[in-house]
Amino acid sequence: MKTLVGCATDTAEMMIEAIVNVGILGCGAMGRELALAADSDRIPNARVVALFDIDEKAVAGLSADLSNPPTGYSDIDAFVAHPGLGLVVECASQAAARAHAAKILRTGAALILMSSGALTDPDVYEEMSDAARSSGGKVIVPSGAIGGIDAIRAVKHLLETVTLTTTKPPLALSGAPGFAEWEDREITEATVIFDGPASEAVRLFPANVNVGATLSLAGIGPTQTMVTVIADPDAPGNVHQIEASGSFGKFKFEFINEPHPANPKTSYLAPLAAIEALRTYCDTGPRIGS
Ligand SMILES: NC(=O)c1ccc[n+]([C@@H]2O[C@H](COP(=O)([O-])OP(=O)(O)OC[C@H]3O[C@@H](n4cnc5c(N)ncnc54)[C@H](O)[C@@H]3O)[C@@H](O)[C@H]2O)c1
């Protein structure tokens, strides 16, 4: 017999596995990768049924590239009310996450949140947690452009220091409020642009250091996790170095990520991590790693 998640109808009658009806909030670089993965057999138990973006062309363009065209929405309330929506992947912006996450969760749908910086605001964290608690919805924050989050979570209560050093080519930092005074200056060598707590880094580099938010939320929190942002014209990619220490020992992780071809601010690993999070949510087999 089938198990229905998110009320898939018609053809699901004959299916044994659950089908999760997925909505994509944000049809940019990451939303596109995710939707294409769910549209293919990479995530067999997911079906993209709804798209939303403030850019209607992004919705139409992505919809046209999917073999099972979903419903495109330009109104968030209509998107959230899509019949049988089981899970929404937010891959838009911190502002979108702040504005819409609780509303989505109140419907009982699960939420995969990529703009994790939004959760470093205690009010937003509380609002999302309350909404999820009241409806049974779940918030999932994928590890995104880094790894090691499972280990950080496991030693959370023993952590003493956690640092993140993010090095990107200047182009990848362009547009960030924290980069404003550097926009018209030539950067010819590795230059420290920011050094401070993750809570501040997330505000100044909203599209660049979601990894700092994710790392801090998994560990000792946004005010104690220290972030350094470096602009380096010779950076081999979007590089994230993490060091953590405590009575458990020491961790060092380094990620040298290729930028996503459609958005140099986003590392290619980030959509891959989102796809894996969605696949895991939809899969009924053993889950490897915490
Ligand atoms: N967690 C991580 O490790 C990680 C890594 C990379 C990127 N990100 C974040 O994921 C998000 C998506 O990244 P991307 O590379 O796909 O970005 P992108 O700029 O390529 O696409 C974002 C899309 O969202 C849309 N959008 C923006 N604000 C919106 C709103 N308020 N409502 C509806 N649609 C809106 C835009 O029109 C655009 O089509 C960004 O917030 C980015 O910072 C997280």
Index of the ligand 1 atom closest to the CA of residue 262: 20
**Structure pTM?**
0.92
Closest Cα to atom 6, ligand 1: which residue?
Answer: 266
Q: pLDDT band at residue 290, thresholds of 50, 70 and 90?
A: confident
Report d(CA 238, CA 227) in Å as an integer: 15
Beta strands in the chain (DSSP E): 20-25, 46-52, 71-73, 87-90, 110-113, 139-140, 159-168, 191-197, 226-231, 238-246, 249-257, 259-260, 263-267
The answer to whether the beta carbons of residues 199 and 120 sit under 8 Å apart is yes
d(CA 211, CA 44): 28
Q: Which residues are the active-site residues?
A: 240
SS3 of residue 36 by DSSP: helix
- Ligand 1 neighbourhood includes 266 CB (under 6 angstroms): yes
Q: Please give the average per-residue pLDDT across 213-225, as a whole number.
A: 98
* pLDDT higher at 41 or 135: 135
Whether the CB of 88 sits within 6 Å of ligand 1? no
Q: What pLDDT does 17 receive?
A: 60
CA 89 – ligand 1 centroid, Å: 11
Confidence bin at 234 (pLDDT 50/70/90): very high
- Any atom of ligand 1 within 6 Å of the Cβ of 74: no
* CB contact at 8 A, 244 and 251: yes
20-35 confidence digits (pLDDT tens)? 999 999 999 999 999 9
User: What residue owns the CA closest to ligand 1's atom 38?
Assistant: 28
- Distance between Cα 140 and ligand 1 center (Å): 16
What's the mean pLDDT in 41-63?
96
Is the CB of 54 within 6 Å of ligand 1?
yes
53 lines ligand 1 (CB under 6 A): yes
**For ligand 1, atom 12, which residue shows the shortest CA distance?**
91
Q: Determine the distance separating the centroid of ligand 1 and the alpha carbon of 225, expressed in angstroms.
A: 23
Q: Please work out whether the CB of residue 216 comes within 6 Å of at least one atom of ligand 1.
A: no
Domains of the chain: 10-141+270-282 (3.40.50.720), 149-257 (3.30.360.10)
Instruction: Return d(Cα 121, Cα 84) in angstroms, integer.
Output: 30
Instruction: Look at 17 and 79; give whichever has higher pLDDT.
Output: 79
Which tens digit of pLDDT belongs to each residue from 237-282? 999 999 999 999 999 999 999 999 999 989 999 999 999 999 999 9
Answer yes or no: is the C-beta of 115 below 6 A from any ligand 1 atom: yes
| pLDDT band at residue 8 under the 50/70/90 scheme | very low
Partners of 83 in the β-ladder: none
Q: Which helix (H) or strand (E) holds 78?
A: helix 76-80
- Distance from the alpha carbon of residue 131 to the mean position of ligand 1, in angstroms: 22
Q: Residue 1 has what pLDDT? A: 28
